[in-house]
Amino acid sequence: MIKQKASYRPNLPDLMELCAINYMLALKLLANKEVVGEKREFSIADKLQYVITVNEVTKYTSLITIEQLQQLELAELADILAPKMVIRLYHDAQAAEVVSSQAIRHIKPKYHYPNELMLLPDEKLQVNAFLKEWLQVCLMHGQTQVPSPSH
């Protein structure tokens, strides 16, 4: 008798914990200065640079984009190779959630597998875990240039 594999069930407490960690890390990188249009650039190595852009700020949420900047010689491959995520910060819940990543505009909590885009059943958890690692790398190894004060 062949036993059917159990369907994936999202683990909400794990996802919420991850979103809370990502919120804390994102705020550290933004230095609590959320102004629409503000950008923070981080260099990890000579050819590994990231930028965080504040896209929207409301009373209870903010929308930011974090993306890897491409070198000129890789510009034509930028959309395929360079990670880019849009993250919603929920200030009242103190959580940060990836709302889109690469070509995925709205990430569902669960996908049936296999699917047309070959997304994992736990894609939402995976992209939020990747965001956590990305934010940690920027905090631990990133160097940012702070504009000098005007006189």
Res 143 pLDDT > 80: no
Q: Is residue 149 part of a domain?
A: no
Domain membership of residue 103 (yes or no) is yes
In the predicted model, what is the mean pLDDT of residues 64-92? Answer: 78
95-125: pLDDT as tens digits:
999 999 987 888 888 888 888 888 888 989 9
**How many other CB atoms are there within 10 angstroms of residue 128's CB atom?**
24
Does residue 146 lie within any of the structural domains?
A: no
Total number of domains constituting the chain: 1
Residue 29: inside a domain: yes
Angle CA(122)–CA(65)–CA(101) in degrees, nearest 5?
A: 30
pLDDT value of residue 144: 63
Strand partners for 102:
none
Q: Which domain holds residue 80?
A: 12-141
Give yes or no for a cis peptide into 83 (omega within 30° of 0): no
Domain assignment present for 99:
yes
Q: Quick check: is 56 in a domain? A: yes
